[in-house]
Amino acid sequence: MFRYLVRRFLQMIMVFIATTFIVYSLMYLTGGDPIQALAGEKPVTDLQRAQLTVKYGLDQPFLVRYWNYLTDLLHLDFGTTLTGRSIKDILLDAWPVTMQLALIAILVTIIFGVTAGVIAGIRRGSIFDNATLVLTLIVIGIPSVVLAPLSQYLFTIQWKLFPTTASGNPTWYELLLPGIVLGSLSVATAMRLTRASVSENLRADFVRTARSKGMPGRRVIGIHVLRNSLIPIVTFLGVELGSLMAGAIVTESVFNVPGVGFQLARALKTEDTPLVIGIVSVLVIVFLVANLIVDLLYAVLDPRIRYE
């Protein structure tokens, strides 16, 4: 187990360096003009351009800039944005909000997706099964750019059930609707995955054995079927948690939630390279850690899996 963890950590460092390098070089290669982006439509005088170029170190060669960035990062120094704010502060403000949002989304996915999946799996071919299949098909078909503004309009402006946008330090209540919207996108996938997994396990030998032993139905499904069906779902949820944090760009923008997606969208819009790379670096770490946890959970769920 220990050797496995060490190996994984070494892999993670390699992946981290490779991904940040790719992002850094992509931002560099797109050849944007952050100084003009900062000024908007206004022309920038040559003098000011020269001064800002020196100030942000934009005149240094690419590898030097990347190296400086990486060494600063080792000291947990994320640098400052082009408007002079500390990126560490921005991240410390934004991450808790996004985590809250992702937590709501994951709970929505589990409560609605997994529960409905289990019921549909047990009652295959029933009206519930068919109805949820059609419903999930519809939800999968609606992209979040449509779903988020639509639900904002219906639930907050027409019917006034939720606050329209989140405030600076959003409460759980303000994050509920964005969280549901975010989660609903993975509800469909989670439900279908669970349904397939449960219905397959229902026909497995160990279930028949348990039934013929005279075990009550609830116990058969709750312990034997569910535990064995959870492996693909946990994989999905683990990866999903990572992408929920990254993929919240649309939802966070629509509901004005000051989370990571909100910051990333702004950083891209203003070509704030340091901020983009700062956010992506942390995202990479979140993905890697989420994957590691998923892999470790396998061993808990299925005692046959051992790590050496």
Partner 1 sequence: MQVRRLAAWAALPLVVTLGLSACGKSGGSDSGGANPNGVVSIGIAEPKHLIPSNTSETSGSQVLAALFAPLVDFDEANKPFEVAAQEISTTDNKTWTIKLKDGWTFHNGEPVTADSYINAWNYAAYGPNAQDNNYFFDKVEGYKDLNPADAKTTPTATTLTGLKKVDDKTFTVTLSAPFSEFKSQLGYTAYYPLPNSAFESITASPLVIAKAYEDAPVGNGPFKIKGTWQHDAQVEVEKYDGFAGTKPTVGGALFKIYQNSDAEYADLQANNLDVVKQIPTAALSTAQGDLGDRYMTSPASTLQVLAFPTFDKRFAKAEVRKAISMAIDREEIANKVFQGSQKAAYSFVSPVVAGYRDKTCGAACEFNATEAKKLYTENDGPKSINITYNADGGHQEWVDATCNQLKANLGVECVGTPEAKFADLLTKAKAKKEIGMFRMGWVMDYPSMENYLGPLYSTGGSSNYYGYSNPTFDNLLKEGSAAPTQEEAIKKYQQAEDILAQEMPVLPLRFGQNVFGHSTNVKDVHIDLFNRVDLNKIQIVS
Binding site for partner 1 (CB under 8 A): 32-33, 36-45, 47-48, 50-55, 83-85, 89-90, 93, 112, 116, 123, 126-128, 131, 149, 152-153, 155-157, 159-165, 167-169, 173, 176, 253-256, 258, 262-263, 265-266
Closest CB 77 distance from partner 1, rounded Å: 16
Closest CB 231 distance from partner 1, rounded Å: 26
Within 10 A of 45 (CB to CB), how many other CB atoms are there?
10
Beta carbon nearer to partner 1, 236 or 262: 262
Beta carbon nearer to partner 1, 36 or 235: 36
Beta carbon nearer to partner 1, 122 or 292: 122
Closest CB 120 distance from partner 1, rounded Å: 11
CA atoms within 13 A on the CB side of 42: 8
Q: Answer yes or no: are the C-beta atoms of 184 and 111 closer than 8 Å.
A: no
Beta carbon nearer to partner 1, 176 or 225: 176
Beta carbon nearer to partner 1, 20 or 80: 80
Closest CB 164 distance from partner 1, rounded Å: 4
Closest CB 291 distance from partner 1, rounded Å: 30
Closest CB 62 distance from partner 1, rounded Å: 19
Closest CB 258 distance from partner 1, rounded Å: 4
CA atoms within 13 A on the CB side of 168: 1
Buried b (16+ CB within 10 A) or exposed e, 222-254: eebbbebbbbebbbbbbebbbebbbbbbbbbbb
Beta carbon nearer to partner 1, 44 or 289: 44
Q: Based on C-alpha coordinates, what's the Rg of the chain?
A: 24
CA atoms within 13 A on the CB side of 252: 27
Residue with tokens 């709501």: 104
Beta carbon nearer to partner 1, 95 or 155: 155
- Helix runs in the chain, H state only: 2-29, 34-39, 46-55, 62-74, 87-108, 115-122, 127-141, 144-152, 172-202, 205-212, 217-219, 226-246, 249-254, 260-269, 273-301
Closest CB 279 distance from partner 1, rounded Å: 13
CA atoms within 13 A on the CB side of 98: 30
Beta carbon nearer to partner 1, 141 or 168: 168
Residue with tokens 């080792």: 74
